[in-house]
């Protein structure tokens, strides 16, 4: 018979004088190989699943995780989803550079070589896959990515499409380690999408991470750049009123316009701020 002491590792009790001290201990979590600290009422019982106030097992307990690590990466493959998203590409493979580019010209040449489907030369800069993710975006964002995937498809492999590298995402993850699964030799733990590094308006001079200045108004003239709500999601696009719908036109040749009747103009873009 195995004793309880031999079968279980007991987590140490963490003592802190106040919230600042507890936050400092939490910040050291990765150094100890854990994801954060557990906040638990002394009378809370252990059980499966998420514990909530009012549970039969007792008062609440909660894992206070450290903030995730993040990386910017580019979409290189997309696969259609399942169920209600079976017609939308929302299962993504992401890549990073095999090494730092020497300059912007080398990076652009590598992207153009991918578009021409040329195999990478030994030692040449290339994009190597390192992560897959399929969660973190809204339905409207997945639909916008799906339009870009279809417009930039290079090849099809059954349900999978390889795409021209045009969409950059911020990916959150909990850790990184060696893996033979990806060409990079690396894999990340619990990857999920944080946001698209949007470049739909680059030809209008609006770059990813710019802050736009908006004059509130609920109407717009054709050709004006607006902030609009499509369903429950906000987007910045050029506005055009057509016979039976509104066309929200991106300023990026790789992206398709949004055509919809479910749109609400929130304001007109009159300027922007940019960190330098």
What is the C-alpha to C-alpha distance for residues 254 and 250, in angstroms, rounded to an integer? 9
Helix (H) or strand (E) run with residue 21 in it? helix 19-26
Distant-in-sequence contacts of 139-144, Cβ < 8 A, 24+ apart: 139/231, 139/233, 140/230, 140/231, 140/232, 140/233, 140/235, 141/196, 141/233, 142/85, 142/88, 142/90, 143/88, 144/196, 144/200, 144/235, 144/255, 144/258
Q: Which residues contact 4 (CB under 8 A, 6 or more apart)?
A: none
What separation in angstroms does the CA of 70 have from each of 67, 172, 185, 194, 197? 9, 4, 18, 9, 13
DSSP state of 58: B
- For residues 258 and 144, is the Cβ–Cβ distance under 8 A? yes
Q: Among 162, 200, 203, 243, which one carries the catalytic annotation?
A: 200
Bridge partners, 267 (sequence order): 216, 227
Alpha helices in 91-233 (DSSP H): 104-115, 139-151
What is the C-alpha to C-alpha distance for residues 107 and 94, in angstroms, rounded to an integer? 16
Active-site residue flag, 132: no
What is the C-alpha to C-alpha distance for residues 45 and 55, in angstroms, rounded to an integer? 9
Q: Among 11, 237, 243, 275, which one carries the catalytic annotation?
A: 237
What separation in angstroms does the CA of 146 have from each of 74, 179, 258? 15, 28, 12
Active-site residue flag, 65: no
**Residue in this structure with the two tokens 């990073």, named with its chain if needed:** 96
Residues recognised as catalytic: 200, 237
């Amino acid at each position: 018979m195995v004793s309880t002491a031999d079968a279980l590792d007991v987590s140490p009790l963490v003592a802190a004088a106040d919230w600042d001290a507890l936050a400092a201990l939490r910040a050291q979590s990765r150094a100890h190989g854990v994801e954060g600290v557990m906040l638990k009422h002394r009378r809370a019982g252990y059980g499966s699943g998420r514990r909530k106030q009012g549970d039969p097992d007792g008062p609440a307990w909660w894992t206070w995780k450290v903030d995730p690590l993040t990386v910017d990466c580019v979409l290189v493959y997309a696969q259609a989803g399942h169920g209600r998203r079976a017609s939308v590409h929302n299962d993504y493979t992401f890549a990073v550079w095999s090494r730092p580019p020497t300059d912007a010209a080398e990076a652009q040449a590598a992207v153009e070589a991918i578009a021409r489907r040329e195999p990478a030369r030994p030692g040449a800069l290339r994009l190597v896959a390192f992560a897959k993710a399929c969660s973190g975006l809204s339905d409207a964002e997945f639909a916008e990515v799906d339009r870009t995937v279809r417009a930039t498809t290079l090849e099809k492999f059954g349900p999978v499409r390889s795409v021209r590298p045009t969409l950059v995402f911020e990916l959150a993850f909990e850790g990184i380690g060696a893996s033979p699964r990806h060409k990079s030799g690396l894999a990340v733990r619990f990857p999920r999408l944080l946001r698209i590094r949007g470049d739909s308006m680059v030809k209008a001079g609006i770059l990813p991470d710019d802050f736009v200045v908006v004059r509130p108004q609920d109407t717009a003239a054709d050709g004006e750049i607006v902030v609009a709500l499509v369903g429950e999601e906000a987007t910045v696009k050029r506005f055009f009123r057509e016979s039976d719908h509104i066309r929200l036109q991106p300023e990026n040749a790789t992206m398709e316009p949004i055509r919809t009747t479910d749109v609400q103009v929130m304001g007109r873009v009159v300027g922007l701020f940019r960190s330098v």
